[in-house]
Structure 1
Amino acid sequence: MKNRDAFLCYGILLAAGQGKRFDPSGRQYKLLQTLPTGQTVIARSASQLKEAFPNSIAVVSENAVQIQQSLTELALPFCICETAQDGMANSLVTALRQIPADIDAVVIALADMPFVRGETLLQIRSSLIGGAEIVVPTYQGQRGNPVGFAIKYLPQLLSLQGDRGARQLLQTYPVTEIAVSDQGILRDIDVPADLIDTKVAGT
């Protein structure tokens, strides 16, 4: 087990999705919508991740100027994926190529899941520090996000393709599940009604 203070874990925020189900017309981008907390979806997700993992990076699409501005205001570094439309794996690989090679682990979070609690992120980190190599939170037996990976899995992560992202690895390698009392690990912003789920938002 590595010393807690010496353990370096990077957070990766996937924020390059198109969000077409939220508004097929493309006029309303879901990550810029306001939650009951008063924050936008992207601001909530980014600030939670950065607080748990000061070394974090987001990945965005090249035309998402307002998202880039929001991340700049939050002082969260970001990189641009020019092929985000070809699948989530492209965004993940783009971000992974920006992080240092000598870190211990990465935690992959989704920008459209702003209701994940900060303590859940810290539980994932603690499990990785304790020696777990792939960590998935569960709520009432159901797996959710974010997911943590020891850096030994970097080659496998870099080889991912398509829109399934890192889920492929969860079906191939041993997974440590941690039970949490956080329904937010299962809830994303998919349609406008998801924005007003105040029970999940904790308001």
Structure 2
Amino acid sequence: MAIVGIYLAAGKSRRMGLDKRSLLVGMKTLGSLAIETALQSRLDCICIVTQEDDALSWLPDAVKREKKVVHLPCKLADEGLSASLKCGVTFAKSLHAEAIVILLADQPFITVQMIDEMIACHKEQNRSEFVAPYFKGVPRPPILIASSVFPALLKLNGDRGARDLLRSGFYKGVKLPCSDQRLFYDVDTKEDYHSLIQNNN
């Protein structure tokens, strides 16, 4: 059964004040970096969840043509993170996916190794309900979640995401300790972006 990447890209970049996915990092856009990484991983399919009217102008044409990429416009994206997540989970269920990997469009430094290590752990320990990198004791995306948790994800509301479920301690999974904070760097503000550009030069 498939392992589906859910690429959450439906935010409105309110703290940034402009569409952060279109910001340039070198010759590429911020929004394209993590998905280009994910495309090199063992994920079988990656669905990009966006606002309903998103034309994906922030993505290179080569990515949009990838057979593994599916665009999922989310009618209810304005209701919060949970709506985008549920849109992706519903799609994954339609493929009878055994697990999903939640990816964020503003996390430029994730690696293929991170994603593949989570998938390998899931395959080796097929009773685990999640596999997640942990930094300073907190689960950080990207996060792999098994299909047994899909019903709980579909009950989330507002801006609650998968991390809230994992923090509850109810679900048992594999925690991958990680000491490199850079891997989880996300870009929410102009200051974050300027810091990214300075450190990337």
Q: TM-score, normalised by structure 1?
A: 0.83
1:175 corresponding residue in structure 2: 173
Which of 155, 158, 180 does residue 159 from structure 1 map onto? Answer: 155
Aligned residues of 1:16 and 1:61 also touching (Cα < 8 A) = yes
Aligned residues of 2:81 and 2:161 also touching (Cα < 8 A) = yes
- Cα distance in 1, alignment partners of residues 138 and 190 from structure 2: 24
Aligned residues of 2:32 and 2:58 also touching (Cα < 8 A) = no
Q: TM-score, normalised by structure 2?
A: 0.84
1:81 paired with 2:74, answer yes
The CA deviation at 1:141 is 4.0
- Cα distance in 2, alignment partners of residues 191 and 202 from structure 1: 17
Change (3 A) 1:181 1:8: farther
Which of 102, 111, 117 does residue 117 from structure 1 map onto? Answer: 111
Aligned residues of 2:139 and 2:163 also touching (Cα < 8 A) = no
1:97 corresponding residue in structure 2: 90
2:187 corresponding residue in structure 1: 189
Report sequence identity in percent: 26
Change (3 A) 1:142 1:29: same
1:148 corresponding residue in structure 2: 144
The CA deviation at 1:180 is 3.0
1:57 corresponding residue in structure 2: 47
Which of 8, 11, 17 does residue 2 from structure 2 map onto? Answer: 8
Aligned residues of 1:42 and 1:112 also touching (Cα < 8 A) = yes
Unaligned runs of 5+ in 2: none
**Cα offsets for 1:67-120 (capped at 9, x unmatched):** 366265403211111111111010111112222342221111111111112211
Deviates more, 1:146-155 or 1:100-109: 100-109
2:37 corresponding residue in structure 1: 48
Change (3 A) 1:71 1:85: farther
1:4 corresponding residue in structure 2: none
Q: Is the partner of 1:18 in helix, strand or coil?
A: coil
Change (3 A) 1:201 1:13: farther
The CA deviation at 1:55 is 1.2
Aligned residues of 2:29 and 2:59 also touching (Cα < 8 A) = no
Unaligned runs of 5+ in 1: 1-6
CA RMSD after TM alignment: 2.4
Aligned residues: 191
Change (3 A) 1:200 1:129: farther
1:136 corresponding residue in structure 2: 132
